Amino acid sequence: MAETGFEVSASEIRRRWPGMDERERHDFASNFHVKQDWTENDTEILEIIMQDGSDLIWSSCALAMLRHPDRNRAVEFLIERVRLSESGHPPLNYMQALGLADDPRAVPLIRPYYEKYLNAMEAEAATSVPEDVFRGPVPYHAFLAIAGDLFKITRSEEYEQAIRKYFDHPNEQVRYWAEHALDIEGPTTLKRNAEYAKKRPAVMPSC
């Protein structure tokens, strides 16, 4: 991301990977999916990461898995990561990639998370909207992200309506998450995009 056109050979990564610590591996893998031009060399690097990594590393480059030319291998790898996840938090990055992969095999694995967080959303009725929607007792972001992943795969009205319910939520951040879950540029998203555009430094004309 910092150096446009930066390239590194798979042979170099294969040589250096065993000696890299977790932070170095994470720094490399987390920006891998933004590479514009994907080559066979990149696929070979991705294979190195897939064969020798950890949840921290794999989840940081989950979207890069979708650029693997063997889509079935990529989907099966992501499904296995969700199945073996032992984290106390939902494996949202893997599920996001599976949602974009649009593969129905992922639904049985993601659905239990949806049901768990759907029940957890009921806490809002008892506690009202928390001051901190990021860390409060109501799992807005996790629920809406998971529902969005399932909607991308199934196009089911169940998930769409579960998300649209929060389009009019009193908290702006929750409304934004809901619009993002359905990839809709609603009023909150448009407002934020306009605010972001104002904050960006003006681009100086080239000489």
* pLDDT (tens digit per residue) in 56-67: 999 999 999 999
- Alpha-carbon Rg for the chain in angstroms: 19
What percent of the chain has a predicted confidence (pLDDT) above 70?
94
User: Residue 4 — very low, low, confident or very high, per pLDDT cuts 50/70/90?
Assistant: low
139 vs 169: CA distance, rounded Å: 14
16 vs 28: CA distance, rounded Å: 12
User: Residue 207 — very low, low, confident or very high, per pLDDT cuts 50/70/90?
Assistant: very low
Q: Cα separations (Å) of 91 from 42, 80, 146, 174?
A: 24, 11, 10, 20
**Residue predicted with more confidence, 89 or 101:** 101
Convert the pLDDT of each residue in 157-192 to its tens digit: 999 999 999 999 999 999 999 999 999 999 999 999
Mean pLDDT over residues 72-93, rounded?
94
Give me the pLDDT at residue 7, please: 77
Give me the pLDDT at residue 187, please: 96
Closest CA to 143 of 97, 95, 107, 184: 95
User: Residue 122 — very low, low, confident or very high, per pLDDT cuts 50/70/90?
Assistant: very high
Give me the pLDDT at residue 1, please: 46
**Residue predicted with more confidence, 199 or 205:** 199
Angle at 69 between CA 52 and CA 30, to 5 degrees: 45
Least confident of 82-91, 93-102, 145-154: 82-91
